[in-house]
């Protein structure tokens, strides 16, 4: 990595400093200007960003802009996209730069970075009229660039330049009418955000079978910007999901895990459903008919209708105690988890594990099928506690580790603030979307 960074701001001409003050003043006026609703909500967002200051800095990265401008005004910029088979010598000659310039530029510290250019990378040259290179910029990624600049000494000097990623908080809310997926899309969430939301609450809610019309969710998530340009979504920082009138809440801890506002881990020792919800045929019918007898029977398990071949995941860490075939169950796998828990997976088309094998939570142990006494492809899943069948969708599941006691006070305080933010945004959202 390139380390030496010269503080360019310090050397700024006075003119620029005045410009900065001017911009700041303008922005301040913009923020304080009391006008329509749209501005009001933006004020709210800004106020919120500033409120805690620390985690979501509202920063204007003036430094980079100024470097570019100061050079841009006086020199011509050439942008070159690296093609396959290119090397520096070829690029320099094709752009009409002399071999001598190439030599001088490659005398800088960390010149080796320039040897690692890949097809698709962009090199930017600032040149004088007589083709003297004043500056060469190479973007390593969204935030980091290497800059080689003609210095006062007459030699080239290299710098690394990094742009700050600014995280802004965004809010989304939806009430489910057709499906969770559709509601997520309507709320403006991306596919991966919808997945993340389901993963987050998937320990408590069976997204395949338990979602009902009227369920709703609110999400606060980060959006990342560089130089005011949107570059992608960040993490969900807080969320609330109301499923069949039961409320679930999750807050991101700085350790990267999600906890309830009380500090309990969102993760459980068991997955709520061993098949991914996106693969399960929608079913809003709680009174399931037995697939063979056609009557409503006291079913001892849960059926997930899914296409043959759909991956079946182990609900928890454990050891395979049965992996076999019979006429009733078809291909089946039984897994023992610790002393008290057993999970069973029936009618599989394929089994990927054998008896005695240790398996991990989420590991794909087999595939949905239609083997045994069934009419169509589905996974029959059973959950036993101390040898007794329990409903895997409602049984109280052991939790993964909660937050240590000493971290609890600071987290609960933070979590409360996050939930207040979420509620505030929700109130504003609902007020603006009444009709």
Is residue 25 helix, strand or coil? helix
- Nearest distance from C-beta of residue 311 to Zn ion, angstroms: 18
Beta strands in 204-293 (DSSP E): 216-226, 229-243, 246-252, 258-259
Of residues 32 and 292, the one with the C-beta less far from Zn ion:
292
Of residues 249 and 380, the one with the C-beta less far from Zn ion:
380
Of residues 358 and 373, the one with the C-beta less far from Zn ion:
373
> Residue 83 in contact with residue 118, Cβ under 8 Å?
no
Q: 326: how many CB neighbours lie within 10 A of its CB?
A: 12
Of residues 110 and 288, the one with the C-beta less far from Zn ion:
288
CA distance 303 to 324: 19
- Nearest distance from C-beta of residue 328 to Zn ion, angstroms: 11
Of residues 3 and 295, the one with the C-beta less far from Zn ion:
295
Within 8 A by CB and 6+ apart from 96, the residues are 131
- Nearest distance from C-beta of residue 203 to Zn ion, angstroms: 23
**Which residues of this chain interact with Zn ion, rule CB under 5 A?**
303, 380
Of residues 184 and 369, the one with the C-beta less far from Zn ion:
369
| φ and ψ at residue 76, rounded to 5 degrees | -90, 140
CA distance 327 to 335: 20
Helix (H) or strand (E) holding 419: helix 408-432
- Nearest distance from C-beta of residue 291 to Zn ion, angstroms: 7
Q: How far apart are the first and last CA of the chain?
A: 54
> Nearest-CB residue to Zn ion?
380
Of residues 184 and 366, the one with the C-beta less far from Zn ion:
366
CA distance 251 to 86: 48
Calculated CA dihedral for residues 118, 124, 128, 130, nearest 10 degrees: 30
CA distance 228 to 225: 5
- Nearest distance from C-beta of residue 433 to Zn ion, angstroms: 42
- Nearest distance from C-beta of residue 300 to Zn ion, angstroms: 8
- Nearest distance from C-beta of residue 379 to Zn ion, angstroms: 8
């Amino acid at each position: 990595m390139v380390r030496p960074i010269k503080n360019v701001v310090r050397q700024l001409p006075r003119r620029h400093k005045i410009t900065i003050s001017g911009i700041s003043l303008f922005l301040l006026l913009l923020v304080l200007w009391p006008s329509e609703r749209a501005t009001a909500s933006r004020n709210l967002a800004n106020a919120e960003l500033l409120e805690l200051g620390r985690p979501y800095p509202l920063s204007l990265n003036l430094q980079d802009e100024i470097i570019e401008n100061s050079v841009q005004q006086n020199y011509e910029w050439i942008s070159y996209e690296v093609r396959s088979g290119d090397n520096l010598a070829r690029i320099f000659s094709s752009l009409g730069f002399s071999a001598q310039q190439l030599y001088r530029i490659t005398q800088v510290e960390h010149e080796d970075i320039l040897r690692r250019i890949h097809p698709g990378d962009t090199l930017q040259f600032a040149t004088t009229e007589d083709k003297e290179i004043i500056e060469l910029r190479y973007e390593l990624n969204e935030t980091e660039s290497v800059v080689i600049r003609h210095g006062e000494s007459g030699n080239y000097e290299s710098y690394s330049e990094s742009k700050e990623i600014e995280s802004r908080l965004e809010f989304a809310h939806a009430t489910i009418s057709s499906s969770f997926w559709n509601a997520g899309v309507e709320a403006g969430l991306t596919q991966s955000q919808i997945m993340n939301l389901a993963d987050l609450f998937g320990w408590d809610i069976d997204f395949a079978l338990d979602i009902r019309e009227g369920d709703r969710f609110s999400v606060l998530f980060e959006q990342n910007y560089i130089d005011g340009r949107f570059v992608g979504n960040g993490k969900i920082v807080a969320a609330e999901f109301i499923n069949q009138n039961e409320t679930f809440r999750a807050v991101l801890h700085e350790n990267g895990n999600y906890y309830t506002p009380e500090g309990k881990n969102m993760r459980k020792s068991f997955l709520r459903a061993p098949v991914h919800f996106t693969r399960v045929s929608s079913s809003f019918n709680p009174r399931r008919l037995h697939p063979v007898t056609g009557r409503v029977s006291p079913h001892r398990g849960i059926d997930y209708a899914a296409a043959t071949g759909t991956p079946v995941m182990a609900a928890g860490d454990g050891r395979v105690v049965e992996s076999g075939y019979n006429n009733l169950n078809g291909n089946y796998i039984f897994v023992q988890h610790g002393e008290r828990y057993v999970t069973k997976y029936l009618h599989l088309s394929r089994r990927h594990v054998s008896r005695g094998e240790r398996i991990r939570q989420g590991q794909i142990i087999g595939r949905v099928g239609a083997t045994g006494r069934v009419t169509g492809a589905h996974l029959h899943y059973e959950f036993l506690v101390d040898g007794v069948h329990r409903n895997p969708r409602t049984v109280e599941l052991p939790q993964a580790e909660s937050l240590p006691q000493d971290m609890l006070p600071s987290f609960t305080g933070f979590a409360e603030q996050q939930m207040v933010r979420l509620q505030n945004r929700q109130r504003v959202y609902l007020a603006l979307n009444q009709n």
